[in-house]
Amino acid sequence: MVLTSATLLLAFVSLILRSVDHQVVTVGGSIAIDGPALFLQGALLLMSFIAILVMAERFGGVGGDAFTPMGASTPGSSQEVEAARAGYATSEVFPLTLLAVFGMMMFVAASDLITMFVALEVLSLPLYVMTGIARRRRLLSQEASLKYFLLGAFSSAFFLFGAALIYGFAGSVDLGVIAKVIAQGATPQDGLLVPGAVLLLIGLLFKVGAAPFHMWTPDAYQGAPTPVTGFMAACTKVAAFGAILRLTYVGLEGSRWDWRLGVAAIAILTMVVGAVLSVTQTDIKRLLAYSSIAHAGFILVGVLAFSREAVSGVMFYLVAYGFTTIAAFAIVAMVRQGASEAAQISQWAGLGRRHPVVAAVFGFLLLAFAGIPLTSGFAAKFAAFAPAIATGGTAGVIMVIVGVLASAVTAYVYVRLIVLMYFSAPADTGEDDEVVALMPSVSTTIAVTVGVLVTLVLGVWPTKVLEIAQSASQFLL
């Protein structure tokens, strides 16, 4: 854990000190080190560092047992020993995380379709394995991993087929060359452009959990170890949307009128599916999964505005959502009943009476997901929706209206959970089997604190990060 954390921090320092002033398209034109790539790579490194701190927790979902309720004395029991052993037994999660982060950093900087495909596989394969290593929910975890792997293979096939069609159209997989061929006008291979673009976008929309390509999301989020779910929900979304931005703004921007309305329809469907189905959920991780789907739709609204303000707004949204999500899943991992997580929403009843600090922190993060003012969620939604109204035309206005309505629905879901924690009596399960919030280690405390502070600061004073995102919103061709 220490080695992994140090690697991520050193990589971030190197990124700031060396790469910011050396923006260039390199490695034979396959990697673009530009503003969006550097901004998203920095965000990935910081989020991954916070996620690693949560994964290192001995009660974490990577296999350890719960052993120290808040307010209890340090037990020094066999459960603690078993938890420590479980943590050592699942230490493979750290190199797998580093491998996934490497793929994600390549993904947001890939300047040709082959590099983008390789990066997609490098980031995906470790996640398939990490999804299946939850020891307390072995069958559920392995089922989730298998579903994620099979559907991920289909998405990779769509992406690769689309890349082949685009190569047939442009005679190259380089995004800059593809953009030039599109700008030149009619060619004999024009019939390959739109099918190729659609297949490429399907492959990428799968990774962000956009409907109707979202089927894997609830199962993978529920079955994966909870700290892994937080890492996957935050960092994969950053990487996938970084690739979508580069593909649509650099390679396919000249043809956007051919496929933009179709992607707008997917954005609307994603927001509606995520919001409506979140109302019916009884499992806390599945609820957050459908919340993630709704947020993917909100971000797509910004992507389709096609302006520099839209790029900066999307990048700001990804940062705000990522830190909030990692902190939220860290809290979910802390709330336990017996030796397992309190997965059912009904188990959270009365948590505000027994553990008011934990409930207050989680409630604040839920309000951020809902987009309540003075949280990062409100600033992020404004940053993504404003460009859609300004430059998105009628389709942009319609998407924003649907986004606001979907936000109202999700706000009802989050407020209902807050009311449950504070105003509902806990179930009478006996003192030995009551729902408790565990005492987190220093690493988890740091992760949750950072997540909450970022959520608060970006809500109260988002200007600085917005300015950085705006200055980093120019792609290199």
pLDDT value of residue 314 = 97
CB 379: neighbour CB atoms within 10 A?
25
Would residue 476 count as lying in a domain? no
Each residue's pLDDT tens digit, 354-383: 899 999 999 999 999 999 999 999 999 999
Question: What is the rounded CA–CA span in Å between residue 287 and residue 376?
Answer: 20
- How many domains does one find in the chain? 1
Closest residue by Cα to residue 413 from 312, 294, 310: 294
Would residue 45 count as lying in a domain? yes
Question: What is the rounded CA–CA span in Å between residue 64 and residue 56?
Answer: 10
Would residue 428 count as lying in a domain? yes
Would residue 427 count as lying in a domain? yes
pLDDT value of residue 430 = 56
Would residue 477 count as lying in a domain? no
Residue found under tokens 């604190």: 449
Residue numbers of the domain that contains 48: 2-471
- For 117, residues 6+ apart whose C-beta sits below 8 A from its C-beta are 156, 159, 160, 163
Would residue 308 count as lying in a domain? yes
Each residue's pLDDT tens digit, 244-255: 999 999 999 999
Which amino acid is located at 95 in the chain? Answer: P
Intervals of the chain under pLDDT 70:
58-90, 135-137, 186, 188, 427-433
Would residue 333 count as lying in a domain? yes
Would residue 38 count as lying in a domain? yes
pTM above 0.85, yes or no: yes
